[in-house]
Amino acid sequence: MRLLHTSDWHLGRTLHGVNLHEAQSAVLEHICELVEDPRDGVPVDAVLIAGDVYDRGVPPVESVRLFESTLRRLAESTTVIVTSGNHDSAIRLGYGAGLFRENIQMITDLSRLDLPVLLEGSDGVRAAIYGIPYLDPDHARVALARGEVLPRSHQAVMGAACQRIRDDLAGRAGVRSVVLAHAFVAGAEPSDSERSIAVGGVDRVTAAVFHGIDYAALGHLHGPQAPECAARSLVCYSGSPLRYSFSEQAHTKVVLLVDVPEAGPVTAMPVPIAQPRPMATLRGAVDVLMQDPTMIMHEESWVRITVTDRARPDSLMDRLTSRFPHVLQVFHEPEGAIDRGRGGTTVVSERDPRELGSDFIAYVTKTEPSGGEMEVFAAGYEAAEIAERLGESEGAA
Ligand SMILES: [Mn+2]
């Protein structure tokens, strides 16, 4: 059985103000082509999209259109299984789940997580494919409890979800098992473009929660990787198909072609996805940046530039854009200046609000925030996030 695993499309996302709709359209076109015309002739039995289809709960109209046309096109030739991520509104993404044809499976409702999609590959291999929507511990610890409410942690709720899946699997002989999940597995590498899902300060689950499952198709982290796992399970992140932050400038973005044999280990083969532009981080005095011949290779890239001149150079932005028209961020850090502390006064959307809050407290009070202050700030932030999500899911507005 051949599966195509992808995640974290983040349709509607911008990159420091640059609209990525065209780049996202090109990526989805590429994915459709991989399905319609597989390079090695092996048909793709299902496309798995492990959460964060959209960048936010209420995505732009052009993103909704792009997702619909992609779904329709993929469903012409394969089965598509989609779960919701922490950026998606589960209810909005799941609209139509009960209406779509058999080969479009939108799994955004916790009550469905142990009801698998039963698939038979073109090679006769059978698999039970389970989708775990993003589990918000505050909600899932009640929804997934058998009796007592579960501890308030990702580990507890993901563990309970996987246990339900293993219970269901126990009654199914001769099928391979695949799980889609949206989680931060310990040992894996984050980047700057994931929104924190920490609850009570902890965001991770151990890879061992997936034991007994042949393949865990993960979403959430934007770099492709296969964290260490319990024996005989393969746990992989496909990563996002586009770079969504400078911290990803060295990533090779991919989708994974996953082969599930009748018996024996599952394998995942990365297929590189072309990026609209390279990315680079440059640093130096402005005259050097403007004249250095080795910088030619970055002239068409998306760049972030740190200028190190003692005084901020005149018409800095104009000068830089004349050589680097796709410059997205400019910082000024005079060489030899005293360190003003982590991050300086730069506020970028990728930074964890708790970290920003800590900087703010330090800035206002001129002292490091105490543990107690940070706890109050983190609790307030989490409460605001929960309130926002509830407002969204209940359609209060
Ligand atoms: Mn994501």
Residues 218-275: tens digit of each pLDDT: 999 999 989 876 667 899 999 999 999 999 999 999 999 999 999 999 999 999 999 9
Q: Residue 16 — very low, low, confident or very high, per pLDDT cuts 50/70/90?
A: very high
Domains and CATH numbers, the chain: 2-272 (3.60.21.10), 279-379 (no CATH)
**Percentage of residues in the chain having pLDDT higher than 90:** 75
- Give the pTM: 0.84
Q: How far is the CA of 336 from the centre of ligand 1 (A)?
A: 37
Q: Calculate the average pLDDT of the chain.
A: 90
pLDDT band at 378 (very low <50, low <70, confident <90, very high): confident
| Amino acid symbol at 366 | K
Q: Residue 396 above 50 pLDDT?
A: no
Which two three-digit tokens encode residue 109? 């409702």
CA distance 140 to 154: 9
Instruction: With beta carbons less than 8 A apart as the criterion, state whether 96 and 75 touch.
Output: no
49 φ, ψ to 5°? Answer: -115, 105
Ligand 1 centre to CA of 240 (Å) is: 7
Distance CA(213)–CA(31), nearest Å, equals: 26
Q: List CB-based neighbours of ion ligand 1 within 5 Å.
A: 8, 52
Angle at 364 between CA 362 and CA 365, to 5 degrees: 65
- Using the mean position of ligand 1's atoms as its centre, give its distance from the Cα of residue 93 in Å: 15
DSSP 8-state class, residue 368: P
3-state helix, strand, coil in the chain (%, to 5): 30, 20, 45
Q: What is the pLDDT of residue 395?
A: 44
- Three-state secondary structure readout of 152-198: CCHHHHHHHHHHHHHHHHHCCCCCEEEEEEECEECCCCCCCCCCCCC
- 52 C-alpha to ligand 1 centroid (Å): 5
Question: Do residues 222 and 193 touch, judged by C-beta distance below 8 A?
Answer: yes
For residues 108 and 84, the answer to whether their CB atoms sit within 8 Å is: yes
Distance 102 CA to ligand 1 centre (A): 27
What is the Å distance from ligand 1's center to 12 Cα?
12
- Cα–Cα distance, 46 to 34 (Å, whole number): 12
- Give the pLDDT band of residue 184 (cuts 50, 70, 90): very high
pLDDT digits (tens, 9 = 90+) for 269-289: 999 999 999 999 999 999 999
Q: Ligand 1 centroid to 168 CA: how many Å?
A: 28
pLDDT(345) > 60? no
The pair of three-digit structure tokens given for residue 315, joined into one six-digit string: 């018409």
